Structure 1
């Protein structure tokens, strides 16, 4: 199995590579790549979602600095000047006439723009942020709000429409804004801690003291926004001085609406250099260019906690991404190599130099992609673009490989439960832990079951809470604690039975005692979380015990309620009477304890021709007046026991006398044939030749 737990998607998005006359721009919100040919009004748009290339023609009025579609793909915004942004309607009307919006202030420059809603856009300028509503039919814009802030740099997240503006001289004072339809919220500003300046070494005693200009600054390349477990974090890379011998770290600040963002976690990297960050399945993936490795962090992974900040180390040792090859595309001539800026910031337009595979050679071979290339540009959540190759990938996590790398089963299950599409992997881990050669101890298996069932129980509680809100006329809201719970994976009893227990129970190399202990441990775990155990789990235990003639242990399990009472279990025990005679009485006792199955007890007794015990049971429950006489008379007649028939007949005669003050049966009882049978056997006498004491039989 591969020793790489990260992959780049096998089917990358291919687009026209950057070149002398081609600039490439990436739209994060729509996940589209724009290839703009200078001197040509045609623009190639390649979309990750459709994997199709669309060509649009717009008026050529100068070099493109940035380009993005509106969220409904009907309006194209193009920045060609530092002073304004042009708009082109691309609807069915065919009206491609451009209209423009100037930013506020004569000396103000537009640094970037971002669509926040279908017809809403923000301009990030050197003097703050401007929030506009776009009216395509009127070919105009309306200013909704503006904020005056001196801007060093900015970071925008289309996932939550949150904008960060850096404002202080050191760049570490951050002003966050949250955009919603026709609304903008200015969130409390906060400061990001900077690492201390390195102290001069002994060899530099005569060096001049550090001046204010030498103060460390926070740069936009070290800051990103990441969505983890439904919450938005400011992710800050902090490199340390090499002379300090301390590795870099990543600091997470939790963004909240009403209070300044606070530092909540520190991720230790144990190396320095250039880093880039992706998020995959609520994990932070930290790429390190110098070592060409990537590390995985999970902020819900157990770490050191001091009451305010948690300290985390990588889940596993950092490893390279799996090698990648792509079919070489035909190209003509030579083109310069891309710089990161050409794609990283859509406001940059540039390029630098390298050769491209000649057309004849390209058709005959594949290209091995350089991993952690200087041409790589990383976008949230999991996008990597190489503009020189003309490739866009998604970073993917290989859970199957992680399984073989994590020895602690409990920690492995904790990790997998938080991942999407991990159910089959979890079930396979459980199955392998029962197979000889990879078998885990019963204590480890018990901890795994408890971990799975803790999540299972919370899932059931959440389902019940949601159901109650649908049925409650007052529409009671669920508590925030319940609402905020999100489970990537839940393993229920059916999953465990179908994919694990039923598949290993017949493996001869597994001792039946071990399997019985495992299933009993699973039942114990379910009971400890007050989850009703399904009958098929009991059936597996009984099947194992019967096949191995362990009837005494089965008897003990039932007697001491290790196997809980249920109608299906009682029926199963009844079917075992031929191989274990006490099974009938055990089943009957179980049915008696289940107060809701009285009719079943009567049916069972009748099927065994035990009419007198059935009548006793009905009398003890006060139900003898409601049972149909014909049912019992038919069973008694078929038994061939005249004394039994006489006793049952007289029982119902007495009941008729009590209820209707006469012993005869009414036509509605449909007992005429049994009255005739009684008269033929016993005549009109009150008792047969063999005296029968009815009260004694029914006591």
Structure 2
């Protein structure tokens, strides 16, 4: 802004290349300049009691048209915020008003008003949430949701800011609002002896009947100024005097409510900035979620995480993998890091199981934490919504091709170790009630067989850890030489799948002709199987057995065409000729 807007107001978008250059009237130095979401309107506060609406696309004599608005009571404004493209929120000490700005008529209209008792106010646009501080020490917070042209009051709550004689009131600069892992938190600095020792997180519910509650406490323990960023569900606290940044992950750091920094690091300027700018200076101003403004250089920066350096900063491999798994768009980095940890055998089986359980049960856990998605009664009471947290999803095919197969092909690893890793993954799928794919089951069975873990293979088949299928049955049948009991397990699987034809084929292959006939009789199978059994009997059975089979089929009144061939070679030509001679020479005696 140049000369209070008289010589020009230039705005640049952070989301696209849009640049706006306009001129406004010089009505004093503005304390607040805020653009509507579509960038067509601008709210500028030049006096304590009023706000000027500047129509950026409507000009007169090269100057933008303006509209002055204020609350009914004309009291000093605590907050001026855009709720939608044409709805403006004004907050003073005693009321909050929602105005409708008519761009065509260049007029305003009060849509809704509610009485409040506010010492200061913070607006969180992603959730359309207004947070008002009141009470004797300003530590009583009242959340209001401004949505659908209505004000919805949520339950108020008290925060602990470490009040003392030197610090009697809770200030606006000591509070912030952010969305972390799909939940909305109010972050409060809790001071002790004038030093910010804790950053407390209070969770706001999505319905209006539940009281917000204290959930997490981040241990800082330093003196002096600091700033807050929330990037990719990580709370980052920058300390000015020590020039360090503390990174907290409330889901990784600790299962308890108190969290120590997961990583303590330093901001590194991007190589494109030459010479490198000074960091952690007194001219830095931090804005959520990731913006830093250097007032001395007139430069705006954004912070980015370098997740590939997590292996250097986080010594515990299991914690490091969990950290990477919760970062956005880092599936490739996570999978490659997981493979390297497994190859180095840097994880115990218990830690491997936890990592796999986190991947397999991510969707289920996410649903349980978001009851509004499950169609429960709480969904009808939800008055506030926020961006949902999307857990990392690694499909079975991706896990097999990127982790399990490379492990299996690594000759330096013991086969038993690879088999145990696969069993842990299979167990995680079973616990999460996910059906393993056929190709995955086949690979696990083959790996267990190659490792000689026949007892484990027998157990997962017996206790139905893996689903029955014909390919699995035939695979087990092929391992009969290594473990005789697997043959019967394979036959049982075929029986449960009602694969009678395949069972008969297996019996014939093992030359169990009589058992095949018995199976056909017991199951009352189709007569179409009889010719196969008769043909096998002709090749492998003795004369007595073949004769018994023929007599059996004759008694059953089976079709003669089915067993006609079984009597063709019961006797040799020499035996038939000898019988004929003996019959011709015999004498008929009468008794």
**TM class, shorter-chain normalised?**
0.7 to 0.9
> Relative contact order: is structure 1 or structure 2 higher (C-alpha 8 Å, sep ≥ 6)?
1
When residues 54 and 634 of structure 1 are mapped into structure 2, their CA distance, relative to the original with a 3 A threshold, is same
The structural deviation recorded for 1:450 is 4.6
| Structure 1: 5+ residue stretches without partners | 1-22, 24-35, 199-213, 328-365, 470-475, 666-673, 691-699
**Alignment pair present for 1:440 and 2:347:** yes
The structural deviation recorded for 1:225 is 1.2
TM-score norm. by structure 1 comes to 0.67
**Aligned partner of 2:310 among 389, 397, 402:** 402
Aligned mates of 1:478, 1:612 — CA distance in 2: 63
TM-score norm. by structure 2 comes to 0.78
Aligned mates of 1:49, 1:678 — CA distance in 2: 84
**Aligned partner of 1:324 among 267, 270, 274:** 270
User: Match for residue 351 of structure 1?
Assistant: none
Summarize deviations over 1:242-271 as a string: whole Å, max 9, x none: 6xxx76221223334346544443222111
The structural deviation recorded for 1:158 is 0.8
Moved more, 600-609 or 38-47: 600-609
When residues 640 and 554 of structure 1 are mapped into structure 2, their CA distance, relative to the original with a 3 A threshold, is farther
Q: Does the CA contact (< 8 Å) of 2:36 and 2:42 recur in 1?
A: yes
Q: What secondary structure, in the 3-state scheme, does the structure 2 residue paired with 1:368 have?
A: coil
Q: What secondary structure, in the 3-state scheme, does the structure 1 residue paired with 2:110 have?
A: strand
When residues 381 and 111 of structure 1 are mapped into structure 2, their CA distance, relative to the original with a 3 A threshold, is same
User: Match for residue 188 of structure 2?
Assistant: 236
Q: What secondary structure, in the 3-state scheme, does the structure 2 residue paired with 1:431 have?
A: helix
The structural deviation recorded for 1:609 is 7.6
> Matches of residues 413-492 of structure 1 in structure 2 within 5 Å?
413-436=321-344, 438-455=345-362, 458=365, 477=376, 488-491=391-394
> Matches of residues 67-466 of structure 1 in structure 2 within 5 Å?
67-89=33-55, 98-105=65-72, 107-125=74-92, 127-149=94-116, 151-168=118-135, 170-197=137-164, 216-241=168-193, 248-256=197-205, 257-258=208-209, 261-301=212-252, 303=254, 310-316=257-263, 318-327=264-273, 366-436=274-344, 438-455=345-362, 458=365
> Matches of residues 51-70 of structure 1 in structure 2 within 5 Å?
52-63=17-28, 65=30, 66-70=32-36
- Count matched residues: 559
Q: What secondary structure, in the 3-state scheme, does the structure 2 residue paired with 1:48 have?
A: coil
The structural deviation recorded for 1:71 is 2.4
Q: Does the CA contact (< 8 Å) of 2:50 and 2:74 recur in 1?
A: no
Aligned mates of 2:367, 2:501 — CA distance in 1: 31
Aligned mates of 1:45, 1:639 — CA distance in 2: 92
When residues 509 and 171 of structure 1 are mapped into structure 2, their CA distance, relative to the original with a 3 A threshold, is same
The structural deviation recorded for 1:125 is 3.5
Moved more, 498-507 or 72-81: 72-81
Q: What secondary structure, in the 3-state scheme, does the structure 2 residue paired with 1:432 have?
A: helix
The structural deviation recorded for 1:423 is 3.7
Q: Does the CA contact (< 8 Å) of 2:6 and 2:24 recur in 1?
A: no
When residues 97 and 602 of structure 1 are mapped into structure 2, their CA distance, relative to the original with a 3 A threshold, is farther
Q: Does the CA contact (< 8 Å) of 1:421 and 1:488 recur in 2?
A: no
Aligned mates of 1:259, 1:586 — CA distance in 2: 58
The structural deviation recorded for 1:83 is 4.3
When residues 159 and 604 of structure 1 are mapped into structure 2, their CA distance, relative to the original with a 3 A threshold, is same
Q: Does the CA contact (< 8 Å) of 1:178 and 1:184 recur in 2?
A: yes
Summarize deviations over 1:371-407 as a string: whole Å, max 9, x none: 2232322222222233544543433333332234334
Q: Does the CA contact (< 8 Å) of 1:248 and 1:268 recur in 2?
A: yes
Aligned mates of 1:110, 1:174 — CA distance in 2: 18
User: Match for residue 518 of structure 2?
Assistant: 616
Moved more, 153-162 or 181-190: 181-190
**Alignment pair present for 1:48 and 2:30:** no
Q: Does the CA contact (< 8 Å) of 2:22 and 2:56 recur in 1?
A: no
| Structure 2: 5+ residue stretches without partners | 578-591
Aligned mates of 1:444, 1:231 — CA distance in 2: 27
Question: Please, what is the CA RMSD of the aligned residues?
Answer: 4.5
Summarize deviations over 1:399-442 as a string: whole Å, max 9, x none: 33223433434444444444433444443343233324x53344
Summarize deviations over 1:589-632 as a string: whole Å, max 9, x none: 2434534433443455567786654443233223x2xx252x64
